[in-house]
Amino acid sequence: MMRLSPLHLSDNMSCMNIGIIGAGAMGSLFGGKLSSAGHNVVLYDINQAHIDAVNNLGLRIEDAATGKETTVRLQASSDPACLSRVDTAVIFVKSTATASAAGRFADILPAGSVIITLQNGYGNEDILKRLYGPERTAAGVTSHGATFLGPGLIRHAGKGPTYVCMSSKKREPLRNFVEALSEAGFETGIEDDIQNLIWSKLVINVGINALTALTGMLNGQLLRFDGTRKVMEALVAEAVEVTKARGIRLTYSDPLKQVMETAEKTAMNRSSMLQDFDRKTVSEIEFINGAIMAEAEKLRIAVPVNSAVTALIRALDEKHETERNTIA
In this predicted model, what pLDDT tens digit does every residue of 57-78 receive, in sequence order? 999 999 988 999 999 999 999 9
| Cα 276 from Cα 319, distance rounded (Å) | 13
Question: What pLDDT sits at residue 13?
Answer: 55
Question: Around Cβ 240, how many Cβ atoms within 10 Å?
Answer: 19
Same domain, yes or no: 202 and 314: yes
| Cα 138 from Cα 279, distance rounded (Å) | 29
Residue 7 lies in a domain: no
Same domain, yes or no: 150 and 232: no
Q: Report yes or no: 313 and 210 within 8 Å, Cβ to Cβ.
A: yes
Same domain, yes or no: 24 and 147: yes
Residue 5 lies in a domain: no
CA-based nearest residue to 76, from 37, 106, 108, 49: 49
Q: Report yes or no: 37 and 188 within 8 Å, Cβ to Cβ.
A: no
Question: Around Cβ 324, how many Cβ atoms within 10 Å?
Answer: 13
| Cα 307 from Cα 114, distance rounded (Å) | 36
* Tally of domains in the chain: 2
Percent of the chain having pLDDT more than 90?
A: 84
Q: Report yes or no: 223 and 275 within 8 Å, Cβ to Cβ.
A: no
Residue where one domain finishes, among candidates 127, 162, 193: 193
Pairing of strands 75-77, 40-44: parallel
Residue 284 lies in a domain: yes
Same domain, yes or no: 208 and 259: yes
CATH number at residue 251: 1.10.1040.10
pLDDT tens per residue, range 298-323: 999 999 999 999 999 999 999 999 98
Same domain, yes or no: 68 and 166: yes
Residue where one domain finishes, among candidates 193, 218, 239: 193
Ranges of beta strands (E only) in the chain are: 17-21, 40-44, 59-63, 69-72, 75-77, 88-91, 114-117, 137-142, 145-150, 153-158, 162-166, 188-190
Q: Is the pLDDT of residue 2 over 50?
A: no
Same domain, yes or no: 207 and 173: no
Same domain, yes or no: 285 and 257: yes
| Cα 265 from Cα 258, distance rounded (Å) | 10
Return the sign of the alpha-carbon dihedral for residues 211, 145, 115, 182: negative
Q: Report yes or no: 312 and 277 within 8 Å, Cβ to Cβ.
A: no
- pLDDT band (50, 70, 90) for residue 10: very low
Same domain, yes or no: 223 and 93: no
| Cα 20 from Cα 62, distance rounded (Å) | 19
In eight-state DSSP terms, residue 310 is H
Residue where one domain finishes, among candidates 158, 178, 193: 193
Main-chain phi, psi angles of 67, to 5 degrees: 80, -5
pLDDT tens per residue, range 65-115: 899 999 999 999 999 999 999 999 999 999 999 999 999 999 999 999 999
Side chain identity at residue 295, one-letter code: E
Residue 2 lies in a domain: no
Same domain, yes or no: 220 and 113: no
- pLDDT band (50, 70, 90) for residue 47: very high
- pLDDT band (50, 70, 90) for residue 120: confident
Q: Report yes or no: 69 and 101 within 8 Å, Cβ to Cβ.
A: no
Side chain identity at residue 176, one-letter code: N
Question: What pLDDT sits at residue 59?
Answer: 98
* Separation of CA 142 from chain center: 7
**Domain limits for position 189:** 17-193
Main-chain phi, psi angles of 189, to 5 degrees: -145, 160
CA-based nearest residue to 222, from 156, 271, 283, 187: 271
Residue 132 lies in a domain: yes
Its pTM stands at: 0.83
